[in-house]
Amino acid sequence: MVDRDLRGRGIRDERVLAAFERVDRARFVPSIERDKAYDDRALQLTHGQTISQPYMVALMLEALQLRGGEKVLEIGTGSGYQTALLAEICAEVWTVERIEYLATTAEDRLLDLGYRNIRFKLGDGSNGWPEGAPYDRIVVSAACPNLPQPLLEQLGEDGLLAAPVGVGDHQDLTVAVKRGGRIDVQKGIACVFVKLIGDHGYAAPEG
């Protein structure tokens, strides 16, 4: 998967590639989907959520320009797959998940795998995690109608934020950089993610 779908499609960050080689995606997908664990596509989790396409995860991590000592805020723990990749590269990962079942199962899984540089929170990820701010990097694993203001406020100086931004079924992989208190935004490739539900995202669906 790493050679075919990541290196083969232009991912060049060796820290990111090495993390993908160390983290077995099969440990993070439901048993019914395990035969597809190394396919380059999103797979279904519970509660209408997904584990993202490996290439897209790699693009987002590469966009963060990680050097190894960062404190990173992750919005949307999901299965914990991207969380593990971040933990392989970064000094600290602070991860927020709004769905209790996903939050607890991901925490148990990651602790069982031996990760000790991750902090977990159940809550509205669109509000970030103010107690840990500022963050060197922030990555959002769900579609935002706009970049959430609390996350921009919690981003440290010279920090990078990567998120899919857009409405409907179309988003752009967007990278925001904070310099001198100013936010510069650059749009990248088109993508499709599940919606970020919360105060600074989308309203929860009825029922």
Residue among 16, 156, 12, 11 at smallest CA distance from 73: 156
- The CATH number linked to 157 is 3.40.50.150
C-alpha span between 59 and 54 (Å, rounded)? 9
Reported as a single tens digit per residue, the pLDDT across 8-18 is 999 999 999 99
| Mean pLDDT, rounded, for 113-140 | 98
Domain that holds residue 41: 2-191
Reported as a single tens digit per residue, the pLDDT across 31-71 is 999 999 999 999 999 988 999 999 999 999 999 999 999 99
Place of tokens 């019914």: 32
Strand residues in 20-147 grouped as ranges (E): 43-44, 50-51, 71-75, 92-97, 118-122, 135-140
Assigned domain for 163 exists:
yes
Element (H, E) at 18: helix 14-22
Distance of CA 23 to the CA centre of its chain: 15
Assigned domain for 114 exists:
yes
Return the pLDDT at 207: 57
Assigned domain for 203 exists:
no
C-alpha span between 14 and 111 (Å, rounded)? 25
Predicted TM-score of the model (pTM): 0.96
Assigned domain for 196 exists:
no
User: Average pLDDT, whole number, for the chain?
Assistant: 96
Domain count, the chain: 1
Assigned domain for 207 exists:
no
With cut-offs at 50, 70 and 90, classify the pLDDT of residue 167.
confident
Catalytic annotation, residues: 52
